[in-house]
Amino acid sequence: MRRWAVVAAFLIVAGGLLLGGARMRPFGAPRYDLMDRYFNARSQAEVATNNVVTAIVFDYRGYDTLGEATVLFTAVVGVALILRRLKR
């Protein structure tokens, strides 16, 4: 019974992935590319960086980086709380 459940789950997941892969759009051609073209055209003039990814991460989407920094800080605080030394 359990083996059949595993096989069925494997078949469903693999079939879904294969179906999704077969119907995928061609590489580098997303359906909505308005923001892509905006960033590619304007980032050198507006942010003065050659690396468009860095321009997006640190300038256009700075809030996301702030959230990522907060996540990292929270993770470090959590590790320091769990692994702190209780007694000598």
Partner 1 sequence: MTILAILQVVVLILIVAGSVLAVWLKDLLASVIALAGASLLLALQFYLLQAPDVAIAEAGVGAALTTAIFVLAIRKTQRKEEE
Partner 2 sequence: MSVVVKTIARILLPVILVFGGYVILHGHLTPGGGFQGGAVAASAVALLLVAFGPGSVKKLKAPFSILEDLGGVAFVLLGFLGIGTTFFFNLLAGSGGLFGAAAPIGPNPGVLNTGGTVPLMNWAVGFKVLGGLGAVMVLFGLFGGDDDR
Q: What are the residues binding partner 2 (CB under 8 A)?
A: 44-51, 53-55, 57-59, 62-63, 65-66, 68-69, 72-73, 75-76, 79-80, 83, 85
CA distance 38 to 28: 15
> How far is C-alpha 34 from the geometric centre of its chain's CA atoms?
20
Residue 19: left (phi > 0), alpha (psi -120 to 50), or beta? alpha
| Binding flags for partner 1, 54-83, as an x/- string (CB under 8 A) | ------------------------------
* Candidate residues 11, 53, 72, 75; the one interacting with partner 1 per rule CB under 8 A: 53
